[in-house]
A = this chain, B = another copy of it.
Amino acid sequence: MLGDVVELSVVVRDLDVAIERFTEVFGLHVHHRGESEEFGFKNAILPTGIGHVELLQPTDPTKPVGRFLEKHGEGVYLVGFECHDIEGSVERLKTQGVRVDHRPGREIAWIHPQDAHGVFVELRTRERYD
């Protein structure tokens, strides 16, 4: 079910400061930037090879990313594992009592961190950075 880590989402206080660190110091580059009003963050995607680092700055302190920063400070928020059968995996997880959030038809699902030893696990496919 869990394949390679293809996304590492990191919550940061200041997206521009974090981008500078991950590009000029750590040698990655920004593929694109985005924003989600629904989830309350702005982000940047930095490819690593088969996967990417996502830097997330909260824009709404009442939503999960903002609450994470308030509680934990900066750090790893979510880990995306490649999964080749998301629908089937979601069904199997549910029968085993795992709390999993999945919107039918979308190639993505999230496992509750309390059901994954503190890791906020995302099941996903690889992105293509052409």
Contacts from A to B (Cβ < 8 Å): 1-6, 8, 10-12, 18, 21-22, 25-28, 48-51, 53, 55, 72-76, 79, 81-82, 93, 96, 98, 113, 115-119, 121
Contacts and interface: CB of A to CB of B under 8 A. Distances in A.
A6 B51 CA distance: 11
A108 B23 CA distance: 21
A43 B121 CA distance: 20
Contact of A79 (B21, B76, B118): B76
Given A1-B27, A12-B117, A22-B117, 5 more contacts: A2-B28, A8-B119, A21-B116, A75-B118, A76-B119
8 contacts: A1-B26, A8-B79, A10-B119, A18-B117, A21-B115, A49-B82, A73-B118, A76-B76
